[in-house]
Amino acid sequence: MELDIRLPPQPPVDIARIERLLLDSDPAGVVDLDPATGHLRVSTCAERDEVASVLSAAGHPVQIADISIVPSVCCGGCSG
């Protein structure tokens, strides 16, 4: 699932550290920062509470309410 995460104003986000910690939970997880919104984008099979724990461990604590599930844009074509 894809998550859109509102981060509070703070020092720069350490994407690499967040991704390293997320990979412990989900080896296929992907993290990036949306330059248009400043929100963190996470693609993962981890649940929102687990992602919140990862962010907290990385020094970027958020509330579960700050983590929105983005509706899927999958058309199903890749998996036949």
pTM for the predicted model, two decimal places? 0.85
Per domain, the residue ranges of the chain are 2-70
Q: What pLDDT band is residue 75 in, cutting at 50, 70 and 90?
A: confident
Q: Which has the closest alpha carbon to 30: 38, 60, 39, 40?
A: 40
Residue 31: other Cβ atoms inside 10 A:
25
For the domain made up of 2-70, give the CATH fold. Alpha-Beta Plaits (3.30.70)
16-45 pLDDT, tens digit per residue, is 999 999 999 899 999 999 989 989 999 999
Query: What pLDDT score does 80 carry?
Result: 54
Spell out the SS3 assignment of the chain.
CEEEECCCCCCCCCHHHHHHHHHHHCCCCEEEECCCCCCEEEECCCCHHHHHHHHHHCCCCCCHHHEEEECCCCCCCCCC
The pLDDT assigned to 32 comes to 94
Interatomic CA distance for residues 52 and 10, integer angstroms: 16
